[in-house]
Amino acid sequence: MSTNSPNLLSRLSLALASFFSILSRPGFAADVERLRREGWPAPVAPVAAAPVVAPVAPAAPAAPVAAPPAPVPPPQLAPETAALQLLGLLQREARFIDFVQEDVQAYGDAEIGAAARVVHEGCRKVLREHFTFEPVRAEAEGSRLTLQPGFDAAAVRVTGHVVGQPPFTGTLGHRGWRATETRLPKLGQGHDASVLAQAEVEL
Domain extents for the chain?
A: 86-131
What is the residue-averaged pLDDT of the chain?
83
Confidence of residue 30 (pLDDT cuts 50, 70, 90): confident
Give yes or no for residue 66 having a pLDDT over 70. yes
**Burial (Cβ within 10 Å: 0-12, 13-18, ≥19) of residue 50:** exposed
Q: State the pLDDT confidence band at 190, using cuts at 50, 70 and 90.
A: confident
CA atoms within 13 A on the CB side of 123: 13
pLDDT band of 77, cuts 50, 70, 90: low
pLDDT band at 203; cut points 50, 70, 90? very high
Quick check: 41 pLDDT over 70?
A: no
More confident residue, 43 or 134: 134
Round to whole Å and give the CA distance between 89 and 86: 5
State the burial class of residue 90 (Cβ atoms within 10 Å of its Cβ: 0-12, 13-18, 19+): buried
Q: What pLDDT shows up at residue 183? A: 94
Alpha helix positions (H), the chain = 8-24, 26-38, 80-94, 96-101, 109-130
Contacts of 4 (CB under 8 A, 6+ apart): none
